[in-house]
Every structure is written in C-alpha cells, then in structure tokens.
Amino acid sequence: MKLKDIISSLNLEARGKIDKSSADKLDKDITRGYVSDLLSDVMANSEEGDLWITLQTHPNIIAVASMKGLAGIVIINGRQPEEEMVRKAEEENIPILLSKLPAFELIGRLYKLGIVGLKGNA
C-alpha cells in the first residue's frame, strides 16, 4: 500500500513541507512496520523501508530514520514534534505523520490494511 493511501485511510496528519523528493516518498509502497520508542532498538532491529511508529519527538529520531532508510515516521498519541525535528525531517526527506491514536490501535489498523511486522513468511 502506498504511503499516501495509508495517510488518507488512517487520517494521519503530514507535517513539514512536501517538495518533489518527499512526494516520491509518499508514492512508495509500504509493506512492513516497526514500532519502538527506543532509538537503540530501532537502530538494531528495524529494516529498510519500514514505517516507524513511535511517540518520541526528539530530533535524534530523524537521524536514526535516515540512517536506516525508513519509509517514514508516525508520531502517535497526539504528540507534537519539536520544530527542530520537523526542520531536520525536511532536510533529510523523512515524512513525518501524526496520529492521535495509541500504538496498539494504530498498528492494529495498519495490520488490517496488510502492513505486517514480519519479513516473508517467518
């Protein structure tokens, strides 16, 4: 499922300017998600192309997402990102999406859309 379709089906709010390169990212197909609030965990265990769900709003999360090549970040529980983080996200071309839902609910809905947490049939 394309990221922009996920945004519209789950009522996510996109933050930051959308220019051409980030528009490309919204057209990207998403197949898997990863949820964690621990940066070290995401560094160690997320996979390229994962949609990252977290309630961290610390600017450091952009560096992690960029390094791991993640498809985007969904910030949950209605939390607002710091301005510095949005600016960094624009620089690094990482889509920042906001949801009012808690992790469990949001992931449940994503799962029903076919975004799973496992690679292949593992």
Partner 1 sequence: MKLIRIKELLKADVLCLEECLDNEIKIACGSDLMSDVLAFIKPNALLLTGLTNSQVVRTAEMAEVSAICFVRGKTPDTNTIELAKERKIPLLTTKYSMYECCGRLYQNGLPACGIPK
Partner 2 sequence: MRDKKKDTSSFSSAEKIPRNKKGAAITKVQELVYELKVGDAMHKNMITASVDTSMRQLREILRSHRISGTPIMDGDKLVGIVSIEDFIKWLAEGGKDCSIREKMTKNVKTLYADEPLVHAVSKLEQMGFGRFPVLDRQSNKLVGVITKGDIIESLLRELEVDYHEEEIHRYRASHIFEDIIADKATLTFQYSVKAKDFSRAGEVSSALRKTLNRLGIHPNIVRRAAIASYEAEMNVVIYTDGGEIVMTVRPDKIQIDVKDSGPGIADIKKAFEPGYSTAPDWVRELGFGAGMGLCNIKKCSDETVLNSTVGKGTHLKVSINMNTAER
Q: Which stretch binds partner 1 (CB under 8 A): 3-11, 12-20, 83-91, 111-119?
A: 111-119
State which H helix or E strand residue 42 sits in.
helix 39-45
Query: Does 105 engage in binding with partner 1 (CB under 8 A)?
Result: yes
**Beta strands 13-15 and 96-98, pairing class:** antiparallel
Query: Does 116 engage in binding with partner 1 (CB under 8 A)?
Result: yes
Q: How far is the CB of 106 from partner 2 (least distance, A)?
A: 18
- Mask: binding to partner 1, 60-99, rule CB under 8 A, as x and -? -----------------xx---------------------
Query: Does 103 engage in binding with partner 1 (CB under 8 A)?
Result: yes
Of these partners, partner 2, partner 1, none, which one is at the site of residue 58 (CB under 5 to 8 Å by kind)? partner 2
- Taking alpha carbons only, the member of 88, 87, 53 closest to residue 67 is 88
- Mask: binding to partner 1, 8-37, rule CB under 8 A, as x and -? ------------------------xxxxxx
Burial of 95 (0-12, 13-18, 19+ CB in 10 A): buried
Could you tell me the strand order of the sheet in which 33-35 lies?
13-15, 96-98, 72-75, 51-54, 33-35
Residues that bind partner 2 (CB under 8 A): 37-40, 55-58, 79-80, 82
Q: Cα(12)–Cα(4) distance, rounded to whole angstroms?
A: 9
